[in-house]
Chain A
Amino acid sequence: MVSRIGVYVDGENLVVPIQQELDEEVVKQLQSDVLERISLKHLTGLVIDLSGTSVLDTFLARKLFDTCRMARLIGARPIISGMSAGMAISLIDLDFNPGDVETAVTLEDGLLRLRDTPKFDLIAQSDDDFDAEGDSFENLVKGSDVIDGDTEPKADDPD
Chain B
Amino acid sequence: MTAIPNQKRTIQIKEEADISVAIDAVLQLAFGMGMNKVNRTMLATSVSELATNIFRYADQGYIDISFMEGEVHQGIKVIARDEGPGIADIDLAMKDGFSTTKSMGVGLPGVERMSDTFAIESKLGQGTIVTVEKFL
21 residue pairs bridging A and B, Cβ less than 8 Å apart: A32-B38, A58-B98, A62-B98, A62-B99, A65-B99, A66-B99, A69-B99, A95-B98, A96-B98, A97-B97, A97-B98, A97-B99, A97-B100, A99-B99, A99-B100, A156-B100, A156-B102, A158-B102, A158-B104, A159-B103, A159-B104
Interface residues of B (CB under 8 A from A): 38, 97-100, 102-104
A-B residue pair count with CB separations less than 8 angstroms: 21
Contacts of B38 in A (CB 8 A): 32
| Closest chain B CB from A156 CB (angstroms) | 7
Interface SS of chain B: loop
Provide the residues of chain B in CB contact with A66, threshold 8 Å: 99
Give the 5 A-B CB pairs with smallest separation, nearest first: A97-B98, A97-B99, A99-B99, A96-B98, A62-B98
Nearest CB in chain B: distance from A25 CB, A:
13
Most chain A CB within 10 A, of B38, B99, B102, is at: B99
Chain A residues with CB under 8 Å of B98's CB are 58, 62, 95-97
Known: A62-B99, A97-B97. 18 other contacts (CB 8 A): A32-B38, A62-B98, A65-B99, A66-B99, A69-B99, A95-B98, A96-B98, A97-B98, A97-B99, A97-B100, A99-B99, A99-B100, A156-B100, A156-B102, A158-B102, A158-B104, A159-B103, A159-B104
List the B side residues contacting A32 at CB < 8 Å.
38
- CB closest chain-A residue, reference B104: A159
Complex CA distance for A75 and B48, rounded to whole angstroms: 25
Can you name the residue of chain B whose Cβ is closest to the Cβ of A36?
B38
- Within the assembled complex, what's the spacing in Å between the Cα atoms of A159 and B103? 6
In the assembled complex, the CB of A12 is this many whole angstroms from the nearest CB of chain B, namely: 25
Q: How long is the Cα–Cα vector from A28 to B64 in the complex, in angstroms?
A: 29
Q: Which residue of A lies closest to B36 (CB)?
A: A32
Cα-based distance from A137 to B20 in the complex (angstroms): 42
Q: Which residues of chain A from 64 to 107 have any CB-CB distance to chain B below 8 Å in the complex?
A: 65-66, 69, 95-97, 99
User: How distant is the Cα of A159 from the Cα of B98 in the complex, in angstroms?
Assistant: 17
